[in-house]
Amino acid sequence: MDDRPLSPHLTVYKPQITSVLSIFHRITGAGLAVSTTLVVFWIVSIAMGKSTFIGFNNFLDNSIVTIVLVSSLWALWYHFCTGLRHLYWDMGYGYDLKSVAISGWAAVACSFLLTFLTLLFFVI
């Protein structure tokens, strides 16, 4: 390999709401694919009987898994809200810069609000 310099690509762009939310949509989509596996294991542990289920619940009962699950909950709501935004665009609406910024910030705000409400009503 030679040491010729690479032309700059991603580094020349200033982060903007459009690009940052898009990157997070992809990251949360990939992250959800992983955390959904954990949920599937949990459901399978129910089918495998009481002792497996209790053992798996004990394994899940620690602060690292709690952080992972709460992050995944936020990722699900974020991906859901930005996903609806994508579907709105697919119908041909909301492409002007002002609408893109408003729908972007609204999606971020809704994702945190829905995470908080889910924790409040279904978890805590």
Which 58-97 positions form the footprint of ligand HEM (CB under 6 A)?
Answer: 79-80, 83-84, 86-87
User: Would you call 27 helix, strand, or coil by DSSP?
Assistant: helix
Report the C-alpha gap between 60 and 69 in whole angstroms. 10
Amino acid making up residue 106:
A
Name the one range near ligand HEM by CB under 6 A: 3-11, 25-33, 40-48, 92-100: 25-33
Cα 117 to its chain centre, rounded Å, is: 16
Q: Does 33 bind ligand HEM (CB under 6 A)?
A: yes
Report the C-alpha gap between 36 and 47 in whole angstroms. 17
Please, what is the minimum distance in Å from the beta carbon of residue 54 to ligand HEM? 26
Q: Does 20 bind ligand HEM (CB under 6 A)?
A: no
Report the C-alpha gap between 58 and 112 in whole angstroms. 28
Q: Does 36 bind ligand HEM (CB under 6 A)?
A: yes
Where do contacts with ligand HEM occur on this chain (CB under 6 A)? 25-26, 29-30, 32-33, 36, 79-80, 83-84, 86-87
